[in-house]
Structure 1
Amino acid sequence: MKHSRILSRATAALALAGAAGTAAAHPGHAASLADGLTHPFLGLDHLLAMVAVGLWSARALPAQQRWQGPAVFVAALLAAALASLGGVSLPGVELSIAASVVLCGALVAGAREIPARAGLALVGATALFHGLAHGAEAPMGGFGGFAAFALGFTASTAALHLAGLWLAARLQRLPALAWSFIGAAVGTGGLALLAARL
């Protein structure tokens, strides 16, 4: 009974978060460590994707390897942000970010069926789009401003991954079907964001 209450609350929160807003964490150029720290919390796309990476890591990877999902995401995020800062850009990044939330939901739902290496590759690919957006929003004025901003969004990203790992630990006894619902809730949020951006 306790698990069903937790599951229903978590699922409802994820679905409402995705459906309730079209907010993205990409309104303009940030300028400081504080901006970097708050940045991932200002967009549902980042919140859902980064928590989902933690959920997936806890479900798909052995206990001693659960750090790999967050580590791959953060490494790819920073690499793409640096590339963006250097002038690399891709069309449709915002649409790709919303689609990445759908992908993260699918990863959570199918965590036990997707091979770990394939899952890690998908996590890294997801992070690339988020990183390109972060780099595009980096403050003007050189690497020093970017470094402070990057330190902030990296710390917040790691915190959201840890939140996903913590939530998964609380829900670890749930049956596979319940995890499918959680993944579907994340994916539904991504579809709502995608529809809002089309």
Structure 2
Amino acid sequence: MLSLQKTIYSLEESAQSQVIERLIKIEERVGTLRSTGIMTDATLRDYYGEKRFEQVAESNAIEGSTLSVGETELAVLKGVTISGHDPAYARDAIALDAALTKIAEIARIKDRPTDISQLREIHALILGDRKGAGVFRNEEIIITGSSHQPPRNWSEIMDHMERWEQWSLKNAELPAPIRSLILHLISNDLQQGPSRRSGVA
């Protein structure tokens, strides 16, 4: 089995080759981002290529947006709503692009591992002026038809998020792909429903 260092996770042999192949590709992309020692705008263009607006458009399409990639680019670059579409879709595109820009800024800070304040800041950018932007929910929720039980109260959420942050700080030296995978798995336990826009935790 492939051991995921300092984690409770491991992979069976049948999955190892696929994971290793993907990790190599991810490490190559991480190498591109870090090649000059600083993440410049040119480096980001090399990293994203023509995919930046595609990423925003496809992510927002999951939430129901009907904007094409070209319309998403127009909304983000010009700050305009697109005729024939709900104006909220343009706002969502602008908000997600701002969040991705912030993530790139955070990634430029090499000596600061991911923490709760950064997570909340990104969440606030994604939600914009919606209720709950950048804050942890404090009401109990139930996911109808799901066996998943999200944390029941604010205390459970904070306990979980503090464990998430402690793991991030303690394991800052691990390769970025491994850290991002584990942090994602830890945060998955906090999902409160099918929509990523519903709120942190």
TM-score range, shorter chain: under 0.3
TM-score by length of 2: 0.27
Q: TM-score, normalised by structure 1?
A: 0.27
Greater Cα radius of gyration, structure 1 or 2: 2
